[in-house]
Amino acid sequence: MNKYELALVIDARIEDDARADVLEKAKKLIARFGGTVTNVEESGKKKLAYEIDKTDEGFYYFVQFDAEGTAPAEIEQRVRIMDHVLRFLVVRADED
């Protein structure tokens, strides 16, 4: 198992419940492809560097998880089409 981190920028215009649902869907995707969520860090609402879909603010989340090497590609493919996700990125975390 490798360590990964999923960075999500979720639209700030949606309600808190809807934002929590988007995060929960992302965690379920990780579990669906054999991953285990180890930590979720909420960085809060921040101004975007440039406007995306006519919004200039987003909520930032960082989800650390353990998974096999094939899981990140599958997760990215599904997160790409999720509603209210402005930007995302899956990176492999350093082994400390």
Q: Which residue has the higher pLDDT, 93 or 61?
A: 61
In CATH terms, the fold of domain 2-92 is Alpha-Beta Plaits (3.30.70)
**Quick one: pLDDT band at residue 84, thresholds 50, 70, 90?**
very high
Average pLDDT, the chain: 93
Q: What is the pTM of this model?
A: 0.90
Each as own residue / partner, the long-range contacts of residues 54-60 (CB below 8 Å, 24 or more positions apart, any chain) are 55/11, 55/12, 55/13, 55/86, 57/12, 58/9, 58/10, 58/11, 58/12, 58/86, 58/87, 59/9, 59/10, 59/11, 59/12, 59/19, 60/7, 60/8, 60/9
**Quick one: pLDDT band at residue 94, thresholds 50, 70, 90?**
confident
pLDDT at 96 (0 to 100): 61
How far apart are the C-alpha atoms of 47 and 36, rounded to whole Å?
30
Q: Which residue has the higher pLDDT, 6 or 95?
A: 6
